[in-house]
Chains A and B, each alone.
Chain A
Amino acid sequence: MYSAAKIHGFLHLYIGEEAVAVGVLQALTPDDAIVATYREHGQALARGVPAASLMAEMFGKANGSSRGRGGSMHIFDLARRFYGGYAIVGGGLPVAVGLALADRLSGREGRLTACFFGDGAVAEGEFHESLNLAALWELPVLFLCENNLYAMGTPIRQELAQPDISLRAESYGIPAEPVDGMDVIAVEEAARRAAIQVRRTGAPLFLELRTYRFRAHSMADPDLYRTKDEIGDWRQRDPIALLEARLREAKLIADDDVSALESDVAAELDHAVGVAEAGPFEPVEDLTKDVYGRSAQ
């Protein structure tokens, strides 16, 4: 759709990292809050934000999840406690800390705030401030670092003097665990364990999900900083393919099921595109609506 110019601006694909979103979201309840990044389609879909709503948002239509106001990088769905969608790397972490703080102050025990961010964020000041604050105040944040080894075009070894991300989290007193981010079962298992602990203790935890994106950073990225070999190697561990293989091996699914799934997905996507195409554009007259909740009289 992007190449057909239906979608504009920046678009960051999640392809290759699906296991992270899907696995983690299995461990969350509807009462939990989610803060993600500009690469949030996977989390949004896994959370149940309708594909049509997402597609319409990317088409800039008024029936999009943010009425076309945000686009691909700013998916919000209040009813599903999906709090975005942040374009500033690291920008969502303090917000996540605050959401957890609200739960703590209002006595809403057993809830957590899941905060997704990439390896790039680990170098930002806001990462450090947020981990420190969450640990200091013992807030129920589940920090989820999607380490896909590259911060936009910069490999992690050129980015972090101390490339062991889990170690960094532990320096704030937050227990951290690396997880195979290409194996959805492993992710789900780790996430469930972590979520149970966060809910019980009310204190933060950190998971470093080691994953890889098969596509470039964004549609604007020519991906010159990675070798085809490297990408090829990782594609051997395509999470969807891995899961499919496991399920087939366990005789839980067969060819028919796979084709049925694939056509369901295709249908859902077609539907989504249809809804997006048909959706209206917000009238220009409404340009200044919702800047404020209450304007001066």
Chain B
Amino acid sequence: MLLSRKIKETIIKNIFFISAAFSIFIILFIFYFLFVQAFPAFQHVGFGIFSTDWVVSEGKYGIGAAIYGTIIVTLGAMIIAIPLGIAGAIFLSELAPSYLRTILKPLIELLAGVPSIVFGFIGIVILVNYLQPTFGLLSGYTFLAGSLILGIMAIPIIVSMSDDAIKAVPRELKEASLAVGATKWQTIKKIIIPTSISGISAAVILGIGRAVGETMAVSLVLANTMKIPVPPWNIFQSTGSTITSLIFTHTGEATGLATNALFASAVILFIIVAIMSIASNILKEHIQKKFKGG
């Protein structure tokens, strides 16, 4: 009897081990494949990969314009998503009556689950055609459109995670603040936000992560040309792409070294996202330590 239980334990343990090993194996496989495929491009163009010369017919594969596009579109998205997201989270966790909260929270989480192609479709059919006449632009396919779409997509992540962080603020802290006569706004400003700031930061970084890695929606509303606008901060100009949109638009038909160059851009994107994911984890650990200590 005892033996059979032991055997059962071992079998179950091994099944779980294989499942865990499987996902690790896949990530290692992706690593390996990405770097092997990217290597010829790095070898061919070297640091030229960071230049802004993308001329496939001449073997120039500089993805500087796409890296720049990723940065500016993400910045734009964050300018939209961070204030709206944090304000939304504060309203949801501190100010909303409980009936409103029970309706709003699932709805916001539902928004996070809307497939990106749906955002992209709305972007291409409505947003792009609205921006063009509204701002008197050459076309609506701009960094502005990309930032708006990505900002909207990042909001639910920031709201939902910041809400969790604010909810984790110990009740006694809030009550103590209110008991000494602070107003609701003073409590939010002086107690709740400072206490939950690492959780909010982790939420923001994850939101940025989504914006950086988002492909479908952003490819549909950007111009996807490999050029930096003039002047560079001109988000109203119909030009520019991100790393993801570059990979997405070219993958189907790229040949030879151009394919390797796409893998090289994937490696760069991978590194950016990995750094952000690690930063978010560090912040999360930080918040946990803080609450254990105090």
Question: Do A and B interact with each other, yes or no?
Answer: no
Binding site for B on A (CB under 8 A): none
